[in-house]
Structure 1
Amino acid sequence: MLLPAGSGTNPFNSREGHMQRKEFFPIVLCSMFSLLVGASHARADEDCRYASRPAISFVEIQSLDLRTQQPLTVKGKLNVPVEKSRHGTCSQTRQGRPVVVILHGSAGVDSRGNFYARALNDRGIATLEIDMWEARGVTGVANRPSHPIFTYPDAFAALAFLSSYPGINPDRIGVLGFSWGGVVTMASATEAYATRFGGALRFKAHVAHYPVCYVYNNPYIPYSEFGGNASNPLTGAPILIQVGENDGYDDGAAPCVALKASLPAAEQDLVTVVTYEETYHAWDRLQVPVTAEDPFAHLGAGGTIQIKPSVDQAYRAQKKAVQFFAENL
């Protein structure tokens, strides 16, 4: 309503204006509250949307240096998925969450760890990738330890660390290893090494990618006993072995198939071997192709191996590994 010029009447000073003011302020306050609540919810939704990535932390784990029998600090990257609850709040502490320990190959931590960690995290599975080389000042094949057994304690140190970590179910911990890490993964599935380095702790499921199968139960290679027929029975946890048809260490997939066949019938039921056609060692390392010299190559004859990525097969292997853990953890 427009007032006549010079009337001097102020609607907020009159009795009627006072009533209008009493009605007006609650409306304003309610509107402001709605805006604030809406903005708060928008921020919460935005925070949760961005929090769809995992909560990442960098941890230190106490392992054992077998050479010196002294404690060894191993560093790792822990990814814990963050979930949005039905109330719109974010949480990373769901009780009983499964987790997978990731073990790198001879070249050290590379793209493979994150490639599998992202997919596992998307399925609600936490991951811990440890750096076995940084702890020992290793730069690659040239100065790595003389045998994978020197890094077996690291896997079980990670298992012990996670077994007491908030929100993690100690009975739902798996392990995934590539090449050198795959050898460690295979050893962790046996009673002798699990007891020696883990005490009563056991991994629930094992995925070993191209774990150099010819070395197991090889009379020329120490610490290679694998399976009940070699006086080192398996723990009973399921094992998935994924290997390339053109693997340069095993010169194909046959040694992995033969290893499974050499086990007692009950242990054969625990092991699945998947072969990927036209793939080389570390085909799921989605980086530029390289070659490497390794004395363990070509069934122990030594020489050059090709490391060539295969994108389609890498995603197939990723899907297979994630599904295996989802079903067994």
Structure 2
Amino acid sequence: MRTSFISFPTSAGLNVAGLLRTPRDAGDPVGAVLICHGSDGVDGRGEYYAGALNAAGFATLEIDMWAARSTSRGAAGRPRSPMETLPDAFGALKFLGEQPEIDPARVGILGFSWGGVVSLLSATKGRADPLRGDLAGFAAHVAHYPVCYAYAADPRMALTDLTGAPILIQTGDIDTYDHPDAGEKLAAALAAQGTAPVRNITYAGAGHGFDRDLPAQTINDPFAHNGAGGPVLMEFNKPAAEAARAEVVAFFTAAF
């Protein structure tokens, strides 16, 4: 793979940096996956998936949404809403579509927690259409543990009028942001709209950030525990992480 450090402008007037990996001598343009980090910033989760996606023949772009805003890592320093970072995702989509190695019709998005919310929000026409310009939009969406209760609780976050691109939601049943069946219920509600194929996989014994291969960490987030706030344990679960990574590669392979 060819590795490049890049930056691109967004419609919000920011310059967002990222790490782009493209196949060497790929021949025909390839599909690509945009990777969006969680509240802790770029922390290795993107790398964990990028390697597998690159090995499957996809380009990847992992962006740093926090550096563009000079914010600190963690819940205390992030923007007020993931909607503020939607221009980052669509700026990245435009950038990827301009690269000669990449097929602009085959660009997907993968996000963790905060980035997972961005991935789901970008799957709605009302949010995508003003930002995508002449682009086709994202061709597929993956959201890992994307705070599943929030979309029904806050009308501003409602996931209605989906673009039709396929969606994969992967969650853990001991994630203390949500109830154990929250991912299943969210996927069912989205699928019931009848406009996009939606699938959920919930991993037993896995919590928030189950694919974060770092020492266990407890954070406090006002959005945890179904909005009541409180502690969240982030702990690596190797079997769940490996299964989720394989599902991501299979999902984008099928979608593209």
2:49 aligned partner, one-letter code: Y
Q: How does 1:240-279 map to 2 (within 5 A)?
A: 240-252=168-180, 254-263=181-190, 265=192, 267=194, 270-279=197-206
Which of 206, 212, 216 is the matching residue for 1:289?
216
Measure how far apart 1:200 and its partner are. 3.8
Unaligned runs of 5+ residues in structure 2 are none
Q: How does 1:32-51 map to 2 (within 5 A)?
A: none
Which residue does the alignment assign to 2:16? 74
Bigger Rg over Cα? 1
SS in 2 for 1:143: coil
Which residue does the alignment assign to 1:99? 32
TM (norm. structure 1) is 0.75
Measure how far apart 1:314 and its partner are. 0.5
SS in 1 for 2:49: helix
Root mean square deviation of aligned Cα: 1.4
Alpha-carbon distance in 2 for matches of 1:206, 1:147: 19
Q: Is the 8 A contact 1:81 1:122 kept in 2?
A: no
Aligned length: 254
User: Which structure shows the higher helix fraction?
Assistant: 1
TM (norm. structure 2) is 0.95
Which residue does the alignment assign to 2:68? 135
Q: Is the counterpart of residue 316 in structure 1 residue 243 in structure 2?
A: yes
Q: How does 1:131-170 map to 2 (within 5 A)?
A: 131-139=64-72, 140-170=74-104
Identity of aligned residues (%): 46
Alpha-carbon distance in 1 for matches of 2:40, 2:81: 15
1:56 aligned partner, one-letter code: T
Which of 266, 283, 301 is the matching residue for 2:228?
301
Q: Is the 8 A contact 1:56 1:80 kept in 2?
A: yes
Which of 34, 53, 63 is the matching residue for 2:10?
63
1:264 to 1:116, Cα distance in 2 relative to 1, 3 A: closer
Q: Is the 8 A contact 1:234 1:267 kept in 2?
A: no
Alpha-carbon distance in 2 for matches of 1:189, 1:256: 16
Which residue does the alignment assign to 1:203? 138
2:50 aligned partner, one-letter code: A
Alpha-carbon distance in 2 for matches of 1:315, 1:262: 27
1:76 aligned partner, one-letter code: G
Q: Is the counterpart of residue 236 in structure 1 residue 169 in structure 2?
A: no
Which residue does the alignment assign to 2:105? 171
- Superimposed CA distance per residue, residues 142-196 of structure 1 (whole angstroms, 9 cap, x where no aligned partner): 1211111110100000001111111210000000000000000000111011112
Q: Which has the higher contact order (CA 8 A, sep 6+)?
A: 2
Alpha-carbon distance in 1 for matches of 2:10, 2:195: 32
Q: Is the 8 A contact 1:60 1:76 kept in 2?
A: yes
